[in-house]
């Protein structure tokens, strides 16, 4: 085959894939990775629509969406960015809702390192405390709030190592480079319990609630699959999955 013909055939195949109406691109906050994978699988089974997922920091997605990223739905780690996108005309008004309320956890990969009351923070017998960048990630900001409330920020600050998002923060801890750190409960929870290491589930009254909002983006306006996904996220089936990863609703 002539190379240009081959290229044409390739492009035609790709284009056919792109216009396939039942597939949507969803930007998902990193902390919601595990539950969203489970939900998307069920969603596809139940509705026939396919949700293709991209995971990352909400701030990065916000910047990408502002600059024309081809997402139809955005599941943010906070409630500010979806609201902002709506104000800026980049999201469908009225589509926004809170799909989950995040739970913060102080976690170590080592069993027995973190006690059930978080006293380990006061002991300070560690070199590195990982958290997501408070400037960029709601879970990072919540972590600082907790330490502020406990009066420990000043003494712990020299030990801070910051992940670019909550997934990288967890990876610092998993690899043992940081002895412990603040992550989302959903990241360390499996089948309704913390599956590895040791953890202190931070009481919700120590920080402002981490409301995580979803919104249909301008790109997904009138898109049946996008609307179906939003509806699905509110269903009892999705709620059960979301709760099993330690989120409140």
Partner 1 sequence: MLSDTNLAAILLTLKLATIVTVLLLLIGTPIAWWLARTRSWWKGPISAVVALPIVLPPSVLGFYLLIAMGPNGPVGQFTQSLGLGTLPFTFPGLVVASVFYSMPFVVQPIQNAFEALGERPLEAAATLRAGPLDRFFTVAVPLAKPGFLTASVLGFAHTVGEFGVVLMIGGNIPGVTRVVSVQIYDHVEALEYAEAHLLAGIMLVFSFLVLLAMYLTNPTRARQ
Site residues, partner 1 (CB under 8 A): 57, 59-60, 62-63, 127-128, 130, 133, 135-136, 160-164, 168, 172, 175-178
In whole angstroms, the minimum distance from the beta carbon of 177 to partner 1 comes to 5
129-132/180-184 β-pairing: parallel
Strands, sheet with 180-184, edge to edge from the N-terminal-most edge strand: 160-163, 129-132, 180-184, 104-108, 198-201
End-to-end CA distance of the chain: 57
In whole angstroms, the minimum distance from the beta carbon of 78 to partner 1 comes to 13
CB of 23 or CB of 164, closer to partner 1: 164
In whole angstroms, the minimum distance from the beta carbon of 158 to partner 1 comes to 9
CB of 117 or CB of 135, closer to partner 1: 135
Quote the DSSP letter at residue 32.
Answer: G
Chain-centre distance of CA 36, in angstroms? 9
What count of other Cβ atoms lies within 10 Å of the Cβ of residue 178? 24
In whole angstroms, the minimum distance from the beta carbon of 39 to partner 1 comes to 26
CB of 40 or CB of 166, closer to partner 1: 166
CB of 62 or CB of 71, closer to partner 1: 62
């Amino acid at each position: 085959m002539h190379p240009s013909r081959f290229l044409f055939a390739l492009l035609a195949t790709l284009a056919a894939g792109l216009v396939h109406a039942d597939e949507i691109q969803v930007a998902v906050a990193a902390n919601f990775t595990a539950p969203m994978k489970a939900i998307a699988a069920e969603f596809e089974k139940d509705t026939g629509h396919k949700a293709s997922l991209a995971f990352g920091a909400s701030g990065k997605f916000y910047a990408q969406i502002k600059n024309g990223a081809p997402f139809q739905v955005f599941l943010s780690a906070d409630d500010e960015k979806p609201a902002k996108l709506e104000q800026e005309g980049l999201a469908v008004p009225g589509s926004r809702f809170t799909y989950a309320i995040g739970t913060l956890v102080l976690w170590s990969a080592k069993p027995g390192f973190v006690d059930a009351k978080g006293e380990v923070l006061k002991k300070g017998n560690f070199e590195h405390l990982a958290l997501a960048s408070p400037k960029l990630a709601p879970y990072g900001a919540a972590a600082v709030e907790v330490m502020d409330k406990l009066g420990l920020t000043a003494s712990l600050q020299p030990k801070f190592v910051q992940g670019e998002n909550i997934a990288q923060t967890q990876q610092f801890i998993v690899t043992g480079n940081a002895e412990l750190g603040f992550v989302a409960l959903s990241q360390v929870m499996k089948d309704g319990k913390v599956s590895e290491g040791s953890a202190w589930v931070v009481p919700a009254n120590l920080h402002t609630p981490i409301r995580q909002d979803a919104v249909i983006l301008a790109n997904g306006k009138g898109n049946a699959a996008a609307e179906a996904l939003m509806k699905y996220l509110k269903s009892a089936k999705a709620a059960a999955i979301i709760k099993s990863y330690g989120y409140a609703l």
